[in-house]
Amino acid sequence: MRDGSDLADLRRAIDRWGVELGFQQIGVAGVTLHQAEQQLAQWLAAGYHGEMGWMAHHGIRRSRPAALLPGTLRVLSARFDYLPPAAAPAAAVLRNRRLGYISRYALGRDYHKVVRRRLQQLADRIAARIGPFGYRVFTDSAPVLEKPLAAAAGLGWVGKHSNLLQRTGSWFFLGEIFVDLPLPIDQPVSDHCGRCRACIDICPTAAIVAPYVVDARRCISYLTIELAGPIPEPLRPLMGNRIYGCDDCQLICPWNRSAHPTAEPDFTPRHQLDASELVALFEWDEATFRQRTAGSPIHRIGHLRWLRNIAVALGNAPPGDGAIIAALQRRLNHPSALLQEHLRWALARQQRSLPAPPPG
C-alpha cells in the first residue's frame, strides 16, 4: 500500500471518511517547516510567550514532526467547525457589562476529547484499509505547530491575528495525525488578508503588535487562561467583561461573515454560559464550578482563576451597583491573597461613583 496509485486512492478515501466523521476538511502536509521554525524562534526570543515556558521546552520537536515522532513522513491536518448556532449573539453579550463573555469555542464540550476521538476513528479506518501503520493523533495536546502545518496542508492561511483563516472564516478547531505514509501533499492557499487590519485595530489590549505577531502577555486569552498570577493592573480595565478567552479579532474579521455554524451537538452551549450574569457566576462555590465545567475546557483554569477573572469583569461593570458590591464584599474573606487583591481593585472601581459619606 505504498505505491502511487494506491496512495492516491487512500487519499480520496480519507477525504470521504473525514466528512463522514464530521470534519469539514482534511489536508496533507509534508514535514518541513523552516520558515515557521524561524518565526517561532524570533517570537520566543522576544519573550512574547510570557509564562508559557512549555512553548520553549521542546526545542526542534515542535517544528520538526519527525523529531517528535520518528518515521513521520506526512501530517494529516483536519478542520472541525465549532461556531455554535444557538449561542447568544456575541456582540450583545459584550455590550452588556453585567454579563460574562466566554470565548465561543469553550461554551460546549471540551474540543480536545471530541476532535481527538474523531481523529482516532479516522486512523482506525486507515488501518482497516491498509493494515498496521505508524501514526499518532494530536489535538492541541503536544508540541505541534498546528497552524503552519494546516496552512501547508491547504486548510487556509495564517491571518494577521495569527489564527488560521479561510474564506469561510476562522471558527474551527484543528487536529493532526502524524503518519509514516508518503501520501500526496496538498498545496497551500494564498494569503487573502490584503491591506485589512481590522483585527489589529479592534484588539482591546493591543496584543497584535504587528501583522501576524501576537504578544501573548497582552492577549486576553492568555491573561484569563494561561496566566496563573495577578493580571497586570493597566490591562484590567481593557478586558471588559471577558472572563474566559477573547474573540474580538475573529468577530471583526470580514471573512467570518461567511462562517458556517457547526452541526456538532457537543459544541452547544451548556449551563447558559453564553450569556450568564456575572454575579451569578461569581457565586459558584468550588463544587459548583467543578460540576458545571466538567467536560469543558474552562475546567482546567480552576475555581481560583475563574473568580479572579470574574472579579476583574465586575470591576469593569457599571459602577455603583449594589448587587455587585455586595458580591465582591462576600468574597473578601477568601484565603487567596491573589483573589483578595483583585477584589479590592474591583471594589474600588465599583465604589468610585458612590457619594461620600456625610461628615461626622
Tell me which residues are annotated as active site.
140
Q: How far apart are CA 1 and CA 127, in angstroms?
A: 11
Q: How far apart are CA 154 and CA 189, in angstroms?
A: 5
Q: Is the dihedral of CA 298, 303, 308, 314 positive or negative?
A: positive
Q: Which of 72, 293, 83 is nearest to 181 (CA)?
A: 72
What phi and psi values does residue 81 have, to the nearest 5 degrees?
A: -65, 145
C-alpha cell belonging to residue 53: 515556558
Q: How far apart are CA 30 and CA 63, in angstroms?
A: 12
Rg, Å, the chain Cα set: 22
Q: Which of 304, 311, 245, 312 is nearest to 273 (CA)?
A: 245
